[in-house]
Amino acid sequence: METKLILFEGNPFTGKSTLSEYVAQQLALNGHAVEWVHEGAMLDRFPQVSAMDGTQPFSGEVVWDEWSGFARAVENRPAIAVVDSAVSNAAVYTLLLNDQPATAIQELVTQLAELCAPLHPHVIYLRGNQDRLARASIADRGPKWEKQMIDQSDAAPYQRARGRSGLDAAITFLQEMQGLMDVLLETGGWPTLTLDVTANERETNRRAVLDFLGIPEVPVTPMALAEALPVYAGTYAQRDPEGTIGSIEVRVEHDQLVLYTRGGDRLSPFVPVSANRLHLQANPIDVEFEVADGWAQRLVLFWTNGRTVAFDRT
């Protein structure tokens, strides 16, 4: 492939992580060197931009400098970079959050398109009914996620300048950001496939993205775990008493293992990748269970950056 950079853009809870991970997998199965950059890892590459939360003076130069470094890094690596929400998060969201004028945002995003042009980028833009998607995400992820949405929105200079607060205001901000993204990607010089994800037509969207990128689909045969799913379900406490994660819960839902945090947040389902190892879908995390006496007694989480955390069944 000529492209070195595939960008998945859109607001939160539009399915960017799940779809981008799938595309990275298909690229690898088709023989391409590929690096999937999850949203968290993407933010690590823009540390100063990520810190621009409105509590300090805004600097467009910082945005440009970090994007320049990012483009150089992608160009110098042999792999195709599949990146989750770089334009959305490390440009548009930051500028809008800081109440920058729409004209200034459009100018910068156009400059970023020119900066990335030698990488022959392809953009997959996921959009939809923000009110419906936001409320569905709250129903799925719980009250802690709702509070996080509201707190981030309420603290934004953009929202304070308009005297807005609360959940409806947070959704309004997302609607306005999506409206701006519509314009930016249509006029900013990015080769873009736009998908409406309101109806969550996963297979249709997958086929559309593969066609857009010119990638033939390689079927993946689901793996079978060594034990029946209920063997792995239960509550597990972090082995390190000083650990920040505390406890987690594994549940069986719709013939899948699903992870819940101590606060009750539902994370993605686990996808088996071998008889003893599973992957946390749309996250850079794997898990292995240790089974004894008919039950999983321990589990270990493995991050792609090398971090590991062990848990014991309670």
Domain 229-313 fold: Lipocalin (2.40.128)
pLDDT tens digit at each of 314 positions of the chain = 789 999 999 998 899 999 999 999 999 999 999 999 999 899 999 999 988 877 777 888 899 999 999 999 999 999 999 999 999 999 999 999 999 999 999 999 999 999 999 999 999 999 999 999 999 999 888 888 899 899 999 999 999 999 999 999 999 999 999 999 999 999 888 999 999 999 989 999 999 999 999 999 999 988 999 999 999 999 999 999 999 999 999 999 999 999 998 888 888 899 999 998 999 999 999 999 999 999 999 999 999 989 999 999 99
Residue 92 carries which side chain, given as an amino acid letter? V
What class does CATH assign to 5-213? alpha beta
pLDDT, position 53? 75
pLDDT, position 54? 72
CA-to-CA distance for 30 and 35, rounded, in angstroms? 14
HSE at residue 287, side-chain half, CA atoms within 13 A, is 28
pLDDT, position 238? 97
pLDDT, position 120? 97
pLDDT, position 272? 95
Buried b (16+ CB within 10 A) or exposed e, 281-312: bbbbbbbbbeeeeeebeebebbeeeeeebebe
Residue spans of the domains in the chain: they are 5-213, 229-313
DSSP per-residue letters across the chain: ---SEEEEE-STTSSHHHHHHHHHHHHHHTT--EEEE-HHHHHHTSHHHHT-SSSS---HHHHHHHHHHHHHHHHHSSSEEEEESHHIIIIIIHHHHTT--HHHHHHHHHHHHHHHGGG--EEEEEE--HHHHHHHHHHHH-HHHHHHHHHHHHH-HHHHHTT--SHHHHHHHHHHHHHHHHHHHHHSS--EEEEE-TT--HHHHHHHHHHHHT------PPP--SS-GGGT-EEEEESSTT-SS-EEEEEEETTEEEEE-TT--EEEEEEESSSSEEEETTTTEEEEEEEETTEEEEEEEEETTS-EEEEEE-
